[in-house]
């Protein structure tokens, strides 16, 4: 017996921050395409000299490489270099999607600030590092959600917004104040907005990944360091993959998830256990 997720044929999905090779955004985009969506992919247009070594060796081309994977599944892909933290960029993105496809049905707010100088005690935290994280993670999710929900309401077909948050917004660990605050804010944005747009048939949920094996985690160390982290933090005994997160996102956007809204689901191998 198989269980097929439905409700995607001919729909248009936007996935922000979708250009990294080892990532969460790429498998989300590919799995939404596999389900039947046309996909809009955004990235920041970073210089290839900043790509991780494995991306450089592979001749990776950011969102253009992901777009090729999407098109190979028989659907259309639109790539847009855009900053989610820039209101004008986001407004222009919404207009371009509607001009190209005539609709927007699914939004996945996946773009996130890079790990960096924000991972330190509050008393040592540079306000600019704080602003960068909040601008991208929280304000970016707000701007994209607001703009695309307006187009969804005008289209009259409902829709689904999934915000990629983090268990960091629930664990609230030391030395993560900017990141944790941004992700807790994303969860609050999700809950508030879900109640506001439900009458238009729009569902808003958050997925809170735990430790996911992506290039963002390379700075933590690999081999024994990584194995110890996984052993100590994850009851299921393995790090998550982008596909683990993509599966949750696709479910939430499908007909099977039609009665789920306002939730912040942990997908973390049991790292954060709540009752």
Contact between 198 and 153 under an 8 Å Cβ cutoff? The reply is no
Four-residue CA torsion sign, 140, 24, 271, 208: positive
Cα distance between residue 78 and residue 66, in whole Å: 10
> How many residues can be counted in the chain?
275
H/E stretch holding 99 reads helix 87-101
Contact between 12 and 104 under an 8 Å Cβ cutoff? The reply is yes
List, as own/partner pairs, every contact residues 224-229 make where C-beta atoms lie below 8 angstroms and the sequence separation is at least 24, other chains included. Answer: none
The active-site residue, picked from 106, 179, 190, 207, is 179
Number of neighbouring beta carbons within 10 Å of residue 49: 6
State yes or no: is 51 an active-site residue.
no
Give 62's contacts (C-beta < 8 A, 6+ positions apart): 19, 20, 43, 45, 46, 48, 51
Cα distance between residue 116 and residue 219, in whole Å: 10
H/E stretch holding 41 reads strand 38-43
Q: What is the set of active-site residues? A: 179
């Amino acid at each position: 017996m198989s269980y097929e997720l439905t409700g995607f044929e001919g729909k248009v999905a936007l996935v922000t921050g979708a250009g990294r090779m080892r990532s969460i955004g790429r498998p989300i985009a590919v799995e939404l395409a596999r389900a039947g969506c046309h996909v809009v992919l955004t990235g920041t247009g970073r210089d290839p000299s900043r790509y991780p070594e494995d991306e450089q060796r592979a001749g990776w081309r950011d969102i253009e490489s992901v777009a090729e994977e999407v098109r190979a599944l028989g659907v259309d892909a639109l790539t847009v270099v855009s900053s989610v933290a820039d209101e004008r960029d986001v407004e222009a993105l919404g207009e371009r999607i509607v001009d190209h496809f005539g609709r927007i049905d699914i939004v996945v707010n996946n773009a996130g600030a890079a790990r960096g100088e924000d991972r330190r005690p509050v008393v040592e935290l540079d306000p600019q590092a704080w602003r960068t994280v909040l601008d991208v993670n929280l304000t970016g999710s707000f701007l994209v959600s607001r703009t695309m929900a307006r187009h969804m309401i005008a289209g009259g077909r409902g829709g689904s917004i999934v915000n990629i948050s983090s268990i960091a917004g629930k664990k609230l660990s030391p030395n993560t104040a900017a990141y944790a605050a941004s992700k807790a804010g994303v969860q609050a944005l999700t809950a508030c907005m879900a109640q506001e747009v439900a009458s238009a048939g729009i569902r808003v949920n958050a997925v809170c990944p735990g430790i996911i094996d992506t290039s963002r985690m390379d700075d933590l160390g690999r081999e024994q360091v990584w194995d110890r982290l996984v052993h100590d933090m994850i009851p299921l005994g393995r790090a998550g993959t982008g596909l683990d997160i993509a599966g949750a996102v696709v479910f939430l956007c499908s007909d099977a998830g039609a009665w789920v809204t306002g939730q912040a689901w942990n997908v973390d191998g049991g790292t954060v256990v709540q009752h």
